[in-house]
Amino acid sequence: MIANPATKYAPFAPIALADRQWPSRTITQAPIWLSTDLRDGNQALFEPMNAERKMSLFMELVRIGFKQIEVGFPAASQTDFDFVRRLIEEKRIPDDVTIMVMTQSREDLIARSVEAVQGAPRAIVHLYNATAPAWRRIVFGMSVPQVMDLIRHHVGYLKRLTDAQPATQWTLQYSPETFSATELDVSLQACHTAIETWGAGPGREVIINLPTTVENATANVFADQIEWMHRHLVPRQHIVLSVHPHNDRGTGVAAAEFAMMAGADRVEGCLFGNGERCGNVDIVTLALNLYTQGVHPQLDFSDITAVARVAEECTSIPVHPRHPYAGDLVFTAFSGSHQDAIKKGFAAQDPNGLWEVPYLPIDPADLGRTYDSVIRVNSQSGKGGIAFLLERERGVVMPRRMQVEFSAVVQRQTDASETEINGSEIWALFQQTYLRGTAGSSDAIRYHGHKLDESGQGIELDLSIAGQRQQVRGHGNGPIAATVDALGLPLRVDSYEERATGSGADAQALAIVEAALDGVAGAGFGVGMSHNIVTASIQAVISVANRLQARRQPSHSGAATAATADTTA
């Protein structure tokens, strides 16, 4: 990079449009969309699409709902010519879809393009020529009057050819290529030359398509240019004002949105922003931006993943994992605070209300994405995501303090493994951490069975303590208190929760006990799971006793001794 870029790059001069209206407008309806995936998008591929790929992308564009599709540059490529013929001869073009073919301003190319679309009920012929000073001077060596002669001559030629084929309903699209770098009065003159030569009027609309062939200024400058053209084009009511933004500055979407606010009726672009250099404007993002403002885009992206896969197969260009709305990772929250907020948002979301789940600008379900991928857990994640997964996949609702405790356990695991952890692994870790003291475990106190006396206040526990099978008895005002008493430990139960998980024959009671043990800092949780709620409660007490004992210094060992080390809590 050079020290002073101002010696090499000139800023784009602002447009004199003091009373511009577009900044205070909002977009209230979808534009007419034109997909140029099969032309501009195709031209930009390492390996242009073959006939089969073109056909499957064409069918997908039709399925999505495009009513205008630029199907190729038939005068420049035999594949494109044959493809257009095939569309027409095999009657692949639905009645409500119009195809467009592009041609440079040369008689032989115009004639070949018209030949390509012969027999189509409707066709748009897209004629273009470059108008900006650098192209006039460096590329073509033409003055402004010569450019106007070129347009007049070639639009006139196209008019004569198409007038001779009245069975097709013909529309002219004229693009002053490099519009965004052209003086506005020259662009206007070029467009008026095309419009007058073609003879725009009732039932004979002309599409004036204004490209940022190379994006060269901030998006507001383009909006000013469009508003200026919108005000000056005549006869405006018979002109469809179209824009064709590229994305060299990464602001193609903003430019298109501002242009719609400034008077554009139609937008040309490609799926996922494919196209020359940094791409054409991304129609998926534009359309879904509209959708999230409450405006239906009239395009169907309800299975966005399927659309992405078709586009990838046809173009061999992968959709970036963080592509707006469509990327594999865009409905995935790794950060703990985000996960927490999303979890709360899902819980609070009124199914019939306005969407307001934090961090998710759109309901993934509207795009055919499931919530499965919403929460993923790695070492950056917090309690929210973990709790969400356990609740959704296992029906386990952890009390808040337990969420904090367990998230530290998960974090130790993910820090050590340096990988993500999925729902089943979290569940395994949960069981290993909290379902302690079962008969087959290696814990100090293991539960084999119990008997309650008739009053429900006396209990006999069948346990293994430090490897020795024994029966211990206790009393209390319920099974939990009686179990604590039977264990003979200075254990204080602080909270108890129970709930059912699963349903029918699979239903299990889940008991969660929070307790503290004298001589052990802090409290801890234990869980019991059983078809019987009393059994689950007793197991939860034994579990937390094991966990707290394992944290205790050896000198404090009480009745139930020789605890095994708790490596997970």
Per CB under 5 A, residues contacting Zn ion are 40
- At a CB cut-off of 8 Å and minimum separation 6, what does 21 contact? 227, 262
DSSP state of 492: E
Query: Given strand 523-530, what is the order of strands in its sheet?
Result: 491-501, 508-517, 523-530
Q: CB within 8 A of 144, min separation 6: which ones?
A: 136, 186, 189
Which C-beta is closer to ligand KIV: that of 246 or that of 552? Answer: 246
Residue 38 Cβ vs ligand KIV, minimum distance, rounded to whole Å: 13
Residue 376 interacts with, from Zn ion, ligand KIV, none (CB under 5-8 Å by kind): none
Instruction: Please report how close the Cβ of residue 268 comes to ligand KIV at its closest, in angstroms.
Output: 7
Q: What angle do CA 174, 180, 185 make, to 5 degrees?
A: 75
Q: Is 280 annotated as a binding residue?
A: yes
Q: Does 340 bind ligand KIV (CB under 6 A)?
A: no
Q: Are 433 and 406 in contact (CB under 8 A)?
A: yes
**Can residue 40 be called a binding residue for ligand KIV (CB under 6 A)?**
yes
Asked if residue 216 belongs to a known ligand binding site, the reply is no
Was 531 annotated as part of a binding site?
A: no
Of the pair 180, 339, the CB lying nearest Zn ion is at 180
Q: Which of 244, 323, 383, 436 binds ligand KIV (CB under 6 A)?
A: 244
One DSSP character per residue, 266-328 reads EEEEBGGG-SSTT-B-BHHHHHHHHHTTT---SS--TTHHHHHHHHHHHH--PPPTTSTTTST
CB of 44 vs Zn ion, minimal distance in Å: 9
Give the total of residues touching ligand KIV (CB under 6 A): 9
DSSP 8-state assignment for residue 47: S
Give the range of 2-10, 205-213, 385-393, 471-479 binding ligand KIV by CB under 6 A.
205-213
What does 251-283 look like in DSSP terms, one character per residue?
Answer: -HHHHHHHHHHTT--EEEEBGGG-SSTT-B-BH
In this chain, which stretch among 134-142, 191-199, 206-214, 515-523 interacts with ligand KIV, using CB under 6 A? Answer: 206-214
> Under the criterion CB under 6 A, does residue 246 sit at the interface with ligand KIV?
yes
- 275 or 526, CB closer to ligand KIV? 275
For the packed helices 107-116 and 144-163, what is the interaxial angle rounded to 10 degrees? 30
**CA 500 to the chain's CA centroid:** 35
Shortest distance in whole angstroms from residue 313 CB to Zn ion = 23
Between 280 and 379, CB nearer to ligand KIV: 280
Of 63-71, 198-206, 209-217, 371-379, the segment contacting ligand KIV by CB under 6 A is 209-217
Transcribe 177-234 into DSSP letters: ETGGGS-HHHHHHHHHHHHHHHT-BTTB-EEEEEEESS--S-HHHHHHHHHHHHHH-T
Work out how close the CB of 415 gets to ligand KIV at its nearest, in angstroms, rounded to a whole number.
Answer: 50
Cβ of 405: how many Cβ atoms within 10 Å? 21
Q: Quick one: 34 exposed, middle or buried, by C-beta within 10 A (0-12, 13-18, 19+)? A: buried
* 82 labeled part of a ligand binding site: no
Among Zn ion, ligand KIV, none, what binds residue 175 when CB lies within 5 to 8 Å by partner kind?
ligand KIV
Nearer to Zn ion, 40 or 215 (CB): 40
From ligand KIV, Zn ion, none, interface partner of 128 (C-beta below 5 to 8 A by class): ligand KIV
Residue closest to Zn ion, measured at CB: 40
For residues 428 and 422, give the distance between their C-alpha atoms in angstroms, rounded to a whole number. Answer: 10
Residue 336's binding partner out of ligand KIV, Zn ion, none, with CB under 5 to 8 Å set by partner kind? none
Residues of span 125-144 touching ligand KIV by CB under 6 A: 128
- Residue ranges of alpha helices (H) inside 47-134 are 51-64, 78-89, 107-116, 133-134
| CB 86 within 8 Å of CB 78 | no
Site string for ligand KIV, 147-186 (x = CB under 6 A): ----------------------------x-x---------
As a whole number of Å, the end-to-end CA separation of the chain is: 54
Segment near ligand KIV (CB under 6 A); pick from 208-216, 228-236, 435-443, 537-545: 208-216
**Residues annotated in the binding site for Mg(2+), as ranges?**
40, 244, 246, 280
Instruction: Please give the residue ranges that form the binding site for ligand KIV (CB under 6 A).
Output: 40, 128, 175, 177, 209, 211, 213, 244, 246
**Residues annotated in the binding site, as ranges?**
40, 244, 246, 280
